[in-house]
Structure 1
């Protein structure tokens, strides 16, 4: 049985200020929890309807009913398990490969998808501006489908980070050079901007080269979704 103080503690972790306060976050679903348990993330406690799948892990496991799981879950249809993990200390960003940087991306679904794209394309370091949505937001975690376990995510002032960059910095702009005509290097930084406003002026000043995805259809679409654009640009970077 899940008692009231446990319910309150878990529900609080759905809010960023309490995640920061306790240094913990909530993950739900068999795939996401399993991916995190098999990574460098350290689990604090697991609540599940069937403990058999988690006996091999060195972590406290509490068996609960489906009704109790609904009480603590943030999902409309809870999926067997909810786990509390400790927020890890980010690793030092490795500049020997491509790095993706996000300038104030606010939508949880977009960030979650971008983290999955980093995992897919082998981009191991993701640098987020301080105003980018929290990667431990439950909606972000659901969208990552466990990929957050394999991507080093660092929050930093982008101007400070880019000022110290030791490689070329590319930024996605509507009026940039056609990315398909570019000779892309083996390492660099790709900056993607906010959903509504693109890359901010202060960050734009630190961009080495502005690039764009050419439009082939009728010019009726204002711009691509930031996650969609990221997928196309990362594909081109790896293809080259």
Structure 2
């Protein structure tokens, strides 16, 4: 039987400071929870309601009343499955393939979508600046749809990281060489900037190449959504 203090702990994990304090995060939805259970993430506990089939082969599982599930869920309409997992230690960045780096991306939906894109295009390492939104934010996790299980994410001082890499660094800008005319290498770092400000001047100085997605037609749209732009550029990275 779950106790009130445990429910309070799980609820507190919606806030970053408590996630960092306890080294735990919450992810909701049966599919997303099962994705993490099949990964290297270590499970703390799984919570389900009676109307949901238990997650197979998991002993550390608690059945909650609907009102208890409502207490710990971040969703307006809880789906009956909440998983609590330990935050893993950061793994080394894999330079054998392209690395995606984010310079202060703030929107949880954008980060979640970008993590899914990394999974789709097989980009193993995502490096985030210290001011990028927390990847264990519940809204980020909802947007990843379980893809966080297959992407290694690190939060680093981006300027120090970029000054030490030995692979070419490409920055995405409004003005630069068209990505369609670039001969892209097999490995490198691709930097995407903040939704409103783009790549900061400090990081801009560390870019070896500036690339852009050319605009066609008479559109007056100022810029592309950062997740949309990331998807387009990743597609070019993978073009044979």
Within 5 A, what are the aligned runs for 1:31-110? 31-50=31-50, 52-57=53-58, 59-110=59-110
Q: CA RMSD in A?
A: 1.2
Q: How many pairs does the alignment contain?
A: 239
**Shift of the alpha carbon at 1:40?**
0.4
Long gaps (5+) in structure 1: none
Separation of aligned partners in 1, 2:71 and 2:2: 9
Does 1:18 find its partner at 2:21? no
Q: Distance in 2 between matches of 1:71 and 1:131?
A: 29
CA contact 2:7–2:68 (8 Å) conserved in 1: no
Question: Which deviates more, 111-120 or 212-221?
Answer: 212-221
Name the TM-score, length of structure 2 as normaliser.
Answer: 0.97
Please give the residue correspondences for 1:204-219 in structure 2 after superposition, counting only pairs within 5 Å: 204-219=204-219
Matches within 5 A, 1:140-159: 140-159=140-159
For residue 174 of structure 2, what is the aligned residue in structure 1? 174
Matches of 1:95 and 1:232 in 2, distance apart?
21
The residue number in structure 2 matching 1:121 is 121
- Is the 2:177–2:211 contact (alpha carbons within 8 Å) kept by the matching residues of 1? yes
* Shift, 1:72, TM fit: 1.3
Q: Residue 52 of structure 1: CA displacement?
A: 4.7
Secondary structure, counterpart of 1:53 in structure 2: coil
Contact 1:41 1:85 in 2 (8 A): yes
Q: Distance in 1 between matches of 2:61 and 2:194?
A: 40
Q: Deviations over 1:38-81 (max 9, x none)?
A: 10001101110147532413x41011122221121110111111
